[in-house]
Amino acid sequence: MAIHKGLFLYLPRYIDRTPNESLGDICRNSIYVFPQVIRSYTKLIDRTWDRKMRKVFWATPLFKFLRYCNDSPLDKAVLDCGAGGDDPPLHLFYEYGYKTFGVEVAENPFKQAKKFCREHSMKLNIMKGDMRLLPFKSESFSFAYSFNAIFFMTKKDIAVSMKEIERVLKPNGLCFVNFVSVDEPDKGPFCKPFLGNPRFSQHEDNEADRYFSSFEIVYKEKRIIDKKTDGKRSVQAYIDYIVEKK
């Protein structure tokens, strides 16, 4: 049942109504609604409408990571390594009450993320930065992830980045990272090299295990995605890891 959001402003008065008062009477006659009540209810409804208007969350593997994070006793602070884009995944964690931080090395995705934060009034704390040299103290975060980002780099730089993620994670902190599998059919180069890499770095099924010598692998999944987008069919292959720092 659809209810105009303005009616919610009268709920406190409606609860205390006399037996003969209707909600319509209260709306016409009430001077009971205090400014703080108005602000509180309006803010709640506006947040709900904002979620409905925003497009559906697309980084679905992070839902599984969020479940692991929610079950952890560590404080809710998360870092996104590769946090740019017009719909930054950090907002999922923000809406679950996490303190969020992100770094993005590319200029255009960084600007897109900042625009998203302004338009949705979200302080995601995304800054210009490089995951190969994270601008944070050691053991600063309970959780960190790199979704669809780390494979833009060479395997040498991936190893450097994973050491940095390990450094900023607290003991027993959780990390999500996904890699492109060698089963990915698209092996073409970028339009121009990015971060010294001509194309996505691809990994064999167990090749990326070597990055996690200081972690325990708690979840690993290989995903083959066969999809049709804008009339074109494509196949993508990823290897996802959720690991816990020892």
Indicate the fold that domain 61-245 takes in CATH.
Answer: Rossmann fold (3.40.50)
Other Cβ atoms within 10 Å of 155 Cβ, number:
17
* Band of residue 175 on the pLDDT scale cut at 50, 70, 90: very high
Q: Is the pLDDT of residue 3 over 80?
A: no
Positions of CATH 3.40.50.150 in the chain: 61-245
Q: What does the pLDDT read at residue 149?
A: 95
Q: Which of 26-40, 137-151, 193-207 has the highest mean predicted lDDT (pLDDT)?
A: 137-151
The CA-based angle 106-110-145, given to 5 degrees, is 85
pLDDT tens sequence across 191-211: 767 777 878 899 999 999 999
Calpha distance 22→17 (Å, rounded):
8
pLDDT tens for each residue of 54-95: 556 778 999 999 999 999 999 999 999 999 999 999 999 999
Helices (H) and strands (E) in the chain, counts: 7, 8
For residues 161-182, give the mean pLDDT.
Answer: 98
- Contact criterion met (CB below 8 Å) for 202 and 187: yes
Closest Cα to residue 222, out of 204, 196, 198, 246? 204
Instruction: Summarize the confidence of residues 136-149 as an average pLDDT.
Output: 98
Q: For the residues 171-193, what does the mean pLDDT come to?
A: 89
Q: Is the pTM of this model over 0.85?
A: no
